[in-house]
């Protein structure tokens, strides 16, 4: 890898798309306002001018239609990357994703490949209300055949997207709006990050925190402050939810004997519930305290910015939960 630069997550995603389009002419982009406008958050800025309208395709407002077209393109040998403007709008093309993209490879006995990436933005935290702020990662946990990616840093965002584009299975790639402008080191040289490989963002001995997507920076902030109080926290970022790096999570829990899961989506039926069940099934005897989960409460996200803040776990929330677990106040 080459020297590192500081890029925002949006810039890292843009760079991954550009590099993969140069590397493989089968990579094409489809989505609303991704071409002339460069994406409503400028993530695809400059790609239309560089690759032309045959490879950067502005679509009508018809998610089911252009996701269906992308599935057909994938089966025919292209590697389409579709942008769904808000993750909430995945509901508009659920039939195409769940009943077609996810199942075609299995139902064809492996004869058909569906190398499709669906990029989508989670706007929770922007004050856009209940129908533009959902974090629907858990919707797809019960759909075999899909891979789910949720980066938390510019470095991970680029490396994971490049791997997703090269994968022969459909991947839903979830981008957190509140981290789009977060900057971090990204090497200039070629690199990829394998899907299904978690990252230990911080090592610790007293407590394991498994943080999902936008919750990773908050978990790290909490861990740093807790260290000043003598509490050592290990922060695990799964990076991909499916496939999940079970070994990394279990190894951390077996070391610290305590687990706190922090996620960006609603608590009921969430990623945290799945991870908690995994640990209870495979590492229950190592636990010295009950597993705790922090997540968005089970209410639609308010439009009010101040009320909306109350639906996302904060570093202070993480610190309070960690102290309960480590100090035995549960």
Q: Would you state the pLDDT for residue 309?
A: 86
Q: Would you state the pLDDT for residue 328?
A: 78
Q: Which of 187, 212, 193 is nearest to 266 (CA)?
A: 212
Residue with tokens 């994703």: 97
Residue with tokens 């999902």: 212
Q: Would you state the pLDDT for residue 266?
A: 95
Low-confidence residues of the chain: pLDDT under 50: 330
Q: Are 56 and 47 in contact (CB under 8 A)?
A: yes
Q: Would you state the pLDDT for residue 100?
A: 97
Contacts of 310 (CB under 8 A, 6+ apart): none
Q: Would you state the pLDDT for residue 329?
A: 61
Mind listing the pLDDT tens digit for each residue in 121-165?
998 888 788 888 899 999 999 999 999 999 999 999 999 999 999
**pTM score, whole prediction:** 0.96
Q: Please list the active-site residues.
A: 63, 132
Q: How far apart are the two ends of the chain, measured CA to CA in Å?
A: 46
Q: Which structural domains are found in the chain, ordered by start?
A: 4-187 (3.40.50.970), 199-326 (3.40.50.920)
Q: Are 215 and 262 in contact (CB under 8 A)?
A: yes
Mind listing the pLDDT tens digit for each residue in 263-292?
999 999 999 999 999 999 999 999 999 999
Q: Would you state the pLDDT for residue 1?
A: 52
3-state helix, strand, coil in the chain (%, to 5): 40, 20, 40
Q: Would you state the pLDDT for residue 107?
A: 96
């Amino acid at each position: 890898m080459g020297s590192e630069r500081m890029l925002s997550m949006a810039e890292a995603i843009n760079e991954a798309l550009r590099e993969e389009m140069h590397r493989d002419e089968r990579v094409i982009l489809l989505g609303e306002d991704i071409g002339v406008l460069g994406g409503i958050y400028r993530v695809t800025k400059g790609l239309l001018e560089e690759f032309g309208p045959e490879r950067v395709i502005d679509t009508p407002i018809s998610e089911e239609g252009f996701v269906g077209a992308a599935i057909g393109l994938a089966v025919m040998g292209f590697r389409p990357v579709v942008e769904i403007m808000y993750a909430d709008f995945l509901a508009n093309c659920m039939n195409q994703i769940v009943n077609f993209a996810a199942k075609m490879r299995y139902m064809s006995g492996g004869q058909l490949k569906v190398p499709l990436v669906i990029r989508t933005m989670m706007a929770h935290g922007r004050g856009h209300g209940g129908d533009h702020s959902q974090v629907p990662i858990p919707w797809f946990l019960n759909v075999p055949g899909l891979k789910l990616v949720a980066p938390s840093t510019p470095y991970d965002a680029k490396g994971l997207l490049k791997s997703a584009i090269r994968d022969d299975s459909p991947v839903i790639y979830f981008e957190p709006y509140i981290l789009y402008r977060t900057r971090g080191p990204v090497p200039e040289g070629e690199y990829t990050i394998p899907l299904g490989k978690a990252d230990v963002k911080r090592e610790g001995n007293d407590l394991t925190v498994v943080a999902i997507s936008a919750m990773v920076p908050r978990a790290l902030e909490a861990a740093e402050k807790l260290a000043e109080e003598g509490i050592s926290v290990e922060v695990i970022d799964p990076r991909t939810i499916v496939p999940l790096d079970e070994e990394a999570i279990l190894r951390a829990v077996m070391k610290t004997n305590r687990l706190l899961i922090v996620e960006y989506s609603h608590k009921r039926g969430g990623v945290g519930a799945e991870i908690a069940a995994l640990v209870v099934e495979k590492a229950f005897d190592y636990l010295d305290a009950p597993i705790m989960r922090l997540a968005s409460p089970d209410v639609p996200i308010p439009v009010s910015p101040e009320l909306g803040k109350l639906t996302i776990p904060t570093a202070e929330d993480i610190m309070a939960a960690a102290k309960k677990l480590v100090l035995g106040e549960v």
